Amino acid sequence: MTDSADSPSFRLAYVPGVTPAKWVRIWAERLPDTPLTLLQVTPTEASDVLRGGAADAAFVRLPVDRTVFSAIPLYTETTVVVVPRDHVITAAEEVTVADLADEVVLHPLDDVLGWEQLPGEAAFERPATTEDAIELVAANIGVLVVPQSLARLHHRKDLTYRTIVDAPRSDIALAWPEDATTELVEDFIGIVRGRTVNSTRGRAQQAPAPERKGERRKPQAGSGAGKSTAGGARGRSGGAKGGAAKGGGGRRGTGGGKPRRRS
């Protein structure tokens, strides 16, 4: 996407929990003349932002509509349960969904895990956001199950979390409109996939202009003299060798006496 023909730019959306700093830094190193603008969106907004053209690409949580978007899965997040620091669950390093059977499990409206059946006991009311649910956990109203990145994003000193080994997980992907795979999108895909700047899938490096047919390169100044000098040196070297050979032959020819014996 471009602001004008003379000032291209790239707009990248991302959902909470994703940290795009590493890729943005590489972009700035490789394409310093093309600014990258970040746009944070909610998981439900991500598809509309891409479809409406407000962003060229986005880090999203799967699934997305594959009839509209192309997507490259990047990684799967660990799922954790957020609890107060003095909660009994903190006695274990890992827990299971069954361990939450007697807990009030908060289910915010922006939940990203897509439960088929919620664990534990349902709260009387669903919090509007994950951030609101975190506040309720701190007030000992219940516990919250989220991807680990969201637990870190909403970190509080009075809360901690433990891994749930058998809970649903959230997959992060890079997505963009299938009919809008621009050159800048290809550049960003290459960065995310770890391609080097010289990769064949990256931007083509400008090659030197080929010589025209029948055109010869001009010799550098002094190159002819160098050749003559080298030729003269070779000639002198050959003469020296020839003289040495003749001299050697003369010595062999004049040494008619018997060789001396070693004492």
Mean pLDDT of 71-98: 97
Reported as a pLDDT band with limits 50, 70 and 90, residue 7 is: low
- For the segment 38-59, the average pLDDT, to the nearest whole number, is 95
CA distances to 87, 158, 222 from 131, rounded to whole Å, are 20, 15, 76
Each residue of 104-123: pLDDT tens digit? 999 999 999 989 899 999 99
Q: Is the pLDDT of residue 40 over 50?
A: yes
Residues 54-81 have a mean pLDDT of 96
Map out the domains of the chain as residue ranges: 8-76+171-192, 79-164
- Note the CATH number of domain 79-164: 3.40.190.10
Answer whether residue 259 shows pLDDT above 60.
Answer: no
**pLDDT confidence tier of residue 198, bands split at 50, 70 and 90:** confident
DSSP code of 104? E
Pick from 94-103, 181-190, 206-215, 243-252: least confident: 243-252
pLDDT tens string 121-132: 999 999 999 999
Range with the poorest average pLDDT among 16-20, 160-164, 254-258: 254-258
Worst-scoring range by mean pLDDT, 31-40, 56-65, 143-152, 196-205? 196-205
Q: How far is the C-alpha of 23 from the C-alpha of 195, rounded, in Å? A: 12
Topology agreement, domain 8-76+171-192 and domain 79-164: yes
pLDDT category of residue 252 using cuts at 50, 70 and 90:
very low
pLDDT bucket at 97, cuts 50 / 70 / 90: very high
- DSSP for 35-101 reads -EEEEE--HHHHHHHHHTTS-SEEEEESP--TTTEEEEEEEEPPEEEEEETTSGGGGSSEE-GGGGT
> What is d(CA 151, CA 147) in angstroms, rounded to the nearest whole number?
7
Tell me if 28 sits within 8 A of 36, measured CB to CB: yes
Instruction: Classify domain 8-76+171-192 at the CATH class level.
Output: alpha beta
